[in-house]
Structure 1
Amino acid sequence: MKKNNLCLLVCLVLLLPCSVDAQVNTLYYMENVPARNVLNPAFIPSQKFYIDLPVISGVAFSVGNNSIAAQDIVVKKGDELLPELQSGADHSPFLNKLKTTTNFTSESRVNLLGFGFRLPAGYFTFDISERDRVGINIPKSLIRLGFEGAPVPLETKSYNLYKIGCDASTYLEMAFGYSRKIDDSWTVGGKVKVLFGEAHADLAFSELGLDVGDQYIDLYGKGKARFTSPVAVSQRFDGLPYIRQEDAKLNKMLHPVGLGLGLDAGVAYRYDDRLQFSGSIDDIGFIRWKRSDWEGNLNAHTSYKSWDFTVDNATSNWGQQIKDSLINSYTPSFNNNQGYVKALVATVRLGADYDLVKKKINLGLLCVKTFGGRYRYNEVLTSVNFRPFYWFNTSVSYGLINGNMGSLGLGLNFIGGPFNFFVATDYLPLSYTDNNIPYKSKYVNGHVGVSLTFKDRVRKPLCHCE
């Protein structure tokens, strides 16, 4: 049945393991991991010098949504998984859990090269990373439409769907950072980033709605879709873009089609020998894309009469009708030489931490919020951080907003000689289905890597023997 298919589709979107800035915030209070400088450039690495090797020094990902988990779609009964959203069931509990707009997000970050070293008055860092970000918006009204179906006779229901949209980008980031301790209390830091755009696509509507009656539907909308690629874009018979296999050559894919700038800034204030406050803002900036290789401008106003709008009707073709109408209502254009600018998604972090046992056991609180674009993420992270030895550190955290009573954050850091290994996640699932699907988690993320780190040499005092 179509509703069961809808359940499966939502599960896949929620839990599909996509590569995703996947910044794992549990790293924020792990002092001996150089990668935490990405979260706040005011955090000076504890080592004199470090080197990030290609790929193995850092791979991070994050995927999830801001509304629901698998437990809201399927329910455990013994060893069985049964659809929670069955035909004829009360769907109001599920709909009440949905945000006005559900944001599905996927991010990734891969370190290609990096290093940092101490200066007489500060610390310098440099890194090159490959990043990608995908955000998809689905308004609650679209899901409600699927459940409610056609209204009773002589009644009309209106659905505002203009928040449907997506934005995806891939770019190379080259970052130059500097941190400096001003005095015994204040430390500041910042990064300047040069961004090389590799590919971009987006879809947005200024207007999109449905008026649904018992035997008719009116579809109207205005919007635009764009696609920018380093390789040649061809046109299908229906006007949609695609890339031919013979055009996807490596030498063309390495040419950037966008250029941008970004800034990070951070500060840390030590109130006394146990209490510290800190804050940062990352990814203030933009990418200017040189052109759009394909654009589709939508201007639709279509009416259907005697339409069988029944979600559970296996023979109903209402979805195909909407798709065909939208495809027939847009005007495609290729090789538009007019450039356009897209802002980055900025992230703000505010933190406070307190040493229960000085330099050994630490309590941390971190608030995280994103701004801009179609990516939405908010979290309040609490953590307990253990630092018994230089060569071993661990953090245990919990997300008060997205933890959903079904996950814990965990970070581990082992140092052996020059090898500094770390692995961290904010949402380690604690409950799974028999198919290994996280049952209570809205988000899944992770960051793993190994760097070469070198401490200051400890000079032993000279022995004066009598």
Structure 2
Amino acid sequence: MNPAFSPERNYIAVPGIGNINVGAQSNVGLNTFIYPYGNDKLTTFMNSSISNDDFLGKLKDNNRINVNLNMTLLSAGFRAWGGFNTIDVNMRSTTSLNLPRGLFEFMKLGMNSSNSVYEMDDLGISSNNYAEIALGHSRQINDKLNVGGKLKFLLGVGNVNIKMTDMKVQMAEDKWMVQANGEMNTSVKGLTIPTKEESGKEIKNPSERDLVDWDNIDLNSPGLSGFGMAVDLGATYKLREDLTLSAAILDLGFISWSNTIKAKTSNTPWEFNGFQNIAMGSDDADGDKPLEDQLEDLGNDIENYASFHRTETGSSSTRALGATLNIGADYVFPLYDKLHFGFLSSTRINGKYSWSEGRISANVTPVKWFDAGVNYGISSFGSSFGWILNFHPCGFNFFVGMDHLMTKVTPQYIPVGKLNTNVSVGFNVTFGKKI
């Protein structure tokens, strides 16, 4: 949360379980798309028995899902050189998805709506996966100010970024018009994304040669495909004996990716003016085609237009990480100094996938070796309630907590409501004098 914070003892993390954080955030849930139907059955929003208003009323203009993983593989911390030092090796994964309302309006309503124009701008998915080696140092400047920082060396495992900057479907009685401007960049060592021509598939016109052949994507000998650097910077300031302020900027950096495959859509509007003269049987002398052949041509045209055309392979690209800004305050309750109240503002800076959250907490330390806390937050994805337990007697530290409670789940433990959950757990061996 802040590299200026210092642990109370030296520590060595238990490999693999020193700190695991798994989280998901969304402003839609399973019950937005799945509904009870008949006798203990389930159906999707596409079923005609589900009213348009019931389904569309649950959607946002931009329906967003984030999934993240932060796992510590190796970690240690010790006091030296006038401060506290840390060494970490972590695995990081962040995937974000943005689905505009217009996409689902088109799927549900189609031509059965007076509004036959469906806007689907900002449709996209972004996934960033890498390992980090982090060296941290924090120190006390005076009796009020603490500062800290981390230098991170990043080893890229894989990156995928697909975005549609301008997408529109217009449906009328006499014609359909589709417009899609999009691009795809993916960097994964060993990943092969062939074109239809390379796969040996039938090519009916030159525009199909460089179409991505999704059926024959292959991954062999995966490995590192990017390198980068980042920093964490933070500070705490004791404004009064009972009030401490803190601020930090995390993951300020970039990864330079190699083995990048780039593709884009045709970026020109496509129109369908209806079926032309229909021949009976095979093609006739006037060049007319049977309905079956015209339907096949329509399917090919849609596939050629909506799919991606590969433009580059083996190129390089540089992408910034999504940085996080944390601003917090800790207040000691004057009537009971073992009770603290806190506030934390977190802002993720990541383009269309940005989000913000404000969270208040109450934390109590009834004995020296145990802490507990509860918290409540409001964010771009809604509100949530959480808790934490922290055991830290001499010799070890174990903590478990979550910022989002799953109140109703399926038998497979999938949240029925909004997919919001954030769980942290860790076990570390501690040693040395307590500070």
Query: TM-score with structure 2 length normalisation?
Result: 0.81
Number of the residue aligned with 2:348: 370
Aligned pair count?
397
2:269 is the counterpart of 1:301: yes
Once residues 154 and 407 of structure 2 are traced to their aligned partners in structure 1, the CA distance between those partners, rounded to angstroms, is 38
Q: CA RMSD in A?
A: 3.1
Is the 8 Å Cα contact of residues 136 and 374 (structure 1) preserved in structure 2? no
1:98-154 Cα distance to aligned partner (Å, 9 max, x none)? 3322221111111111111112522111111111111111111212222332156xx
2:11 is the counterpart of 1:45: no
Alpha-carbon distance change, 183 to 80 in structure 1, aligned in 2, over 3 angstroms: farther
2:112 is the counterpart of 1:139: no
Number of the residue aligned with 1:108: 69
Aligned pair partner of 1:450 in 412, 427, 430: 427
* CA shift for structure 1 position 327: 5.2
Alpha-carbon distance change, 291 to 53 in structure 1, aligned in 2, over 3 angstroms: same
Once residues 52 and 262 of structure 2 are traced to their aligned partners in structure 1, the CA distance between those partners, rounded to angstroms, is 40
Once residues 305 and 260 of structure 1 are traced to their aligned partners in structure 2, the CA distance between those partners, rounded to angstroms, is 50
One-letter identity of the residue aligned with 2:213: L
Partner-residue secondary structure (3-state), 2:70: strand
Aligned pair partner of 1:68 in 28, 31, 36: 28
* CA shift for structure 1 position 193: 1.1
Is the 8 Å Cα contact of residues 36 and 43 (structure 2) preserved in structure 1? no
Alpha-carbon distance change, 403 to 156 in structure 1, aligned in 2, over 3 angstroms: closer
Deviates more, 1:236-245 or 1:94-103: 236-245
Number of the residue aligned with 1:384: 362
Number of the residue aligned with 1:332: 310
Aligned pair partner of 1:240 in 213, 221, 224: 213
Aligned pair partner of 1:217 in 155, 176, 185: 176
Once residues 322 and 227 of structure 1 are traced to their aligned partners in structure 2, the CA distance between those partners, rounded to angstroms, is 25
Number of the residue aligned with 2:289: none
Number of the residue aligned with 1:265: 233
Once residues 302 and 84 of structure 2 are traced to their aligned partners in structure 1, the CA distance between those partners, rounded to angstroms, is 55
Once residues 30 and 422 of structure 2 are traced to their aligned partners in structure 1, the CA distance between those partners, rounded to angstroms, is 16
One-letter identity of the residue aligned with 1:124: N
Number of the residue aligned with 1:36: none
* CA shift for structure 1 position 370: 0.7
Once residues 164 and 32 of structure 2 are traced to their aligned partners in structure 1, the CA distance between those partners, rounded to angstroms, is 29
* CA shift for structure 1 position 430: 2.4
2:325 is the counterpart of 1:348: yes
Is the 8 Å Cα contact of residues 413 and 420 (structure 1) preserved in structure 2? yes
Number of the residue aligned with 1:399: 377
Once residues 107 and 320 of structure 1 are traced to their aligned partners in structure 2, the CA distance between those partners, rounded to angstroms, is 37
2:328 is the counterpart of 1:361: no
Number of the residue aligned with 2:120: 161
Partner-residue secondary structure (3-state), 2:269: strand
Is the 8 Å Cα contact of residues 123 and 165 (structure 2) preserved in structure 1? no
Alpha-carbon distance change, 418 to 135 in structure 1, aligned in 2, over 3 angstroms: same
Is the 8 Å Cα contact of residues 193 and 212 (structure 2) preserved in structure 1? no
Alpha-carbon distance change, 76 to 231 in structure 1, aligned in 2, over 3 angstroms: closer
Number of the residue aligned with 1:13: none
Number of the residue aligned with 1:410: 387
* CA shift for structure 1 position 306: 4.5
Alpha-carbon distance change, 50 to 326 in structure 1, aligned in 2, over 3 angstroms: farther
1:260-298 Cα distance to aligned partner (Å, 9 max, x none)? 111111111112221111111111111111241453454
* CA shift for structure 1 position 382: 1.5
Once residues 163 and 190 of structure 1 are traced to their aligned partners in structure 2, the CA distance between those partners, rounded to angstroms, is 35
Is the 8 Å Cα contact of residues 180 and 265 (structure 2) preserved in structure 1? no
Question: Which aligned pairs between 1:194-209 and structure 2 lie closer than 5 A?
Answer: 194-209=153-168
Number of the residue aligned with 2:131: 172
Percentage of identical aligned residues: 26
Partner-residue secondary structure (3-state), 1:400: strand
Alpha-carbon distance change, 369 to 232 in structure 1, aligned in 2, over 3 angstroms: closer
Number of the residue aligned with 2:281: none
Is the 8 Å Cα contact of residues 359 and 375 (structure 2) preserved in structure 1? yes
* CA shift for structure 1 position 222: 2.3
One-letter identity of the residue aligned with 2:231: L
Is the 8 Å Cα contact of residues 355 and 380 (structure 2) preserved in structure 1? no
1:388-431 Cα distance to aligned partner (Å, 9 max, x none)? 223211111122337856x5211111234422111121102223
Unaligned runs of 5+ in 2: 202-210, 276-294
Once residues 75 and 404 of structure 1 are traced to their aligned partners in structure 2, the CA distance between those partners, rounded to angstroms, is 22
Is the 8 Å Cα contact of residues 142 and 159 (structure 1) preserved in structure 2? yes
Once residues 48 and 256 of structure 2 are traced to their aligned partners in structure 1, the CA distance between those partners, rounded to angstroms, is 48
2:150 is the counterpart of 1:191: yes
Number of the residue aligned with 1:24: none
Once residues 55 and 296 of structure 1 are traced to their aligned partners in structure 2, the CA distance between those partners, rounded to angstroms, is 39
Alpha-carbon distance change, 294 to 400 in structure 1, aligned in 2, over 3 angstroms: closer
One-letter identity of the residue aligned with 1:100: D
2:239 is the counterpart of 1:287: no
Deviates more, 1:355-364 or 1:340-349: 355-364
* CA shift for structure 1 position 244: 3.9
One-letter identity of the residue aligned with 1:107: N
Larger radius of gyration: 2
Once residues 180 and 431 of structure 1 are traced to their aligned partners in structure 2, the CA distance between those partners, rounded to angstroms, is 44
Once residues 177 and 346 of structure 2 are traced to their aligned partners in structure 1, the CA distance between those partners, rounded to angstroms, is 41
